[in-house]
Amino acid sequence: MSFVTGVGLTSYGKHEGSSSLDLMSQAAELAISDAGLKRSEIDGILCGYSTVSPHIMLATVFAEHFGIRPSYAHAVQVGGATGLAMTMLAHHLVDAGVARHVLVVGGENRLTGQSRDASIQALAQVGHPEYEVTLGPTIPAYYGLVATRYMHEYGVTERDLAEFAVLMRKHAMLHPGAQFHQPITVADVMASKPVAMPLKLLDCCPVSDGGAAFVISREATGDERVRIRGCAQAHTHQHVTAAPALSELGAEISIAKAKDVSGIGISDVRYAAVYDSFTITLAMLLEDLGLAKRGEAAARVRAGYFNQDGEMPLNTHGGLLSYGHCGVGGAMAHLVEAHLQMTGRAGNRQVHDASIALLHGDGGVLSSHVSMFLERVR
């Protein structure tokens, strides 16, 4: 058994002068105090990576900087799925008795610590160095390829994809920490600058500075108890050239396994936190996970299904698309928001029932997947 006992999140956007370690430290301090713990009670640390400040031992660099001597520590690297992969590992570590309180932390000054070109170049390296990167693709191009194929097979349109950007912006407007607060329309998305067609600027998440952290514990530390019910992964490929057919991607495999180990079905889920690096990512994952039928996720957005007051509130903080994306911390914000919703602390974004949440992360080009169910227990 394991519980998410504390969460911490900085605002995303520009944090001029803050290093990756500064942002990780801020988030970690928030999460530990949210759990009602002292730093000395943290006996495990899992951290992600920083493209701005790469290091072969980031977890111990952070532990020393933060002032903790843990009995278990290392970094984890699964691209955008890193946050949930670390959470899954922490769940198993505390369940196995290896540690009592594992701090999971990610943070990066990706926006102000390097040029946007440097970020785009660093991320494009998830492609094959000889057979793909030499062709000059970018991350949006890898997802653009997935998008044209998905649109072709399931009749999805660019206007359909735009709906997801509009929804995430609408949600971000209610969160003071989000990078973007100006409302946008489908027409704005359609008119935004082409990046890698069919993806335009507003179909893409931004580059951000920010940090996020959680504490995963063997026992609850307060009255608000959020338990990790079950989780699973799937890794089908690394490079988009080697990806399986759209109907055989990893999200469907990991969600099936997560449902098996947790005994939870999609009909039990009341809140969804789904990776949204691009509008196509969110559209596909919602359909892969069974939160909408094939080709019908956009219709559900238009019908208000994923709104704060809808049947399945989705990424109520604004997601990567509008809260922001600082690398490993990016998708960790989804879990922080899910925890706030589950513990009734989401303020003006509060949904009426977040008793069971489904979280899903994706790394690479739909390469690595982690699905997880959280449950509020009283």
Partner 1 sequence: MSGAIGDWTRGAEAIVYQICSACGARQYFRRGFCAACGASDLAEHRASGAGTVYATSLVCRAATPETRAHVPYNIVLVDTDEGFRMMAHGDNDLAIGDKVTARFAQFAGRLVPYFAKAK
Closer residue to partner 1, CB minimum distance, 185 or 241:
241
CA separation, residue 33 to residues 99, 218, 295, 344 (Å) = 18, 17, 43, 18
167 Cβ partners below 8 Å, 6+ apart? 301, 306, 307, 314
Closer residue to partner 1, CB minimum distance, 83 or 144:
144
Tell me how far, at minimum, the Cβ of 243 lies from partner 1, in Å. Answer: 9
Tell me how far, at minimum, the Cβ of 79 lies from partner 1, in Å. Answer: 18
Closer residue to partner 1, CB minimum distance, 98 or 145:
145
Tell me how far, at minimum, the Cβ of 23 lies from partner 1, in Å. Answer: 24
Closer residue to partner 1, CB minimum distance, 71 or 125:
125
Tell me how far, at minimum, the Cβ of 128 lies from partner 1, in Å. Answer: 6
Cα atoms found within 13 Å of the Cα of residue 289, Cβ hemisphere only: 32
Closer residue to partner 1, CB minimum distance, 132 or 276:
132
CA separation, residue 20 to residues 79, 124, 325 (Å) = 16, 21, 14
Closer residue to partner 1, CB minimum distance, 112 or 121:
121
CA separation, residue 215 to residues 8, 137, 212, 342 (Å) = 9, 37, 11, 16
Q: Are 255 and 360 in contact (CB under 8 A)?
A: yes
Tell me how far, at minimum, the Cβ of 248 lies from partner 1, in Å. Answer: 14
Closer residue to partner 1, CB minimum distance, 31 or 246:
246
How many C-beta atoms lie closer than 10 Å to residue 1's C-beta?
13
Tell me how far, at minimum, the Cβ of 54 lies from partner 1, in Å. Answer: 18
Helix (H) or strand (E) holding 327: none
Tell me how far, at minimum, the Cβ of 198 lies from partner 1, in Å. Answer: 8
Nearest-angstrom CA–CA distance, 378 and 374: 13
Tell me how far, at minimum, the Cβ of 204 lies from partner 1, in Å. Answer: 9
Q: What are phi and psi of 83, to 5 degrees?
A: -60, -50
Tell me how far, at minimum, the Cβ of 53 lies from partner 1, in Å. Answer: 20
Closer residue to partner 1, CB minimum distance, 61 or 196:
196
Closer residue to partner 1, CB minimum distance, 71 or 241:
241
Looking at residue 116, the DSSP 8-state letter turns out to be H
Nearest-angstrom CA–CA distance, 361 and 334: 9
How does strand 72-75 pair with strand 3-9?
unpaired
The contact set with partner 1 (CB under 8 A) reads: 117, 120-121, 124, 128, 130-132, 134-138, 140-142, 144-149, 152, 193-199, 239-242
Nearest-angstrom CA–CA distance, 77 and 81: 8
Exposure letters 303-318 (e unless 16+ CB within 10 A, then b): eebbbbeeebbbbbbb
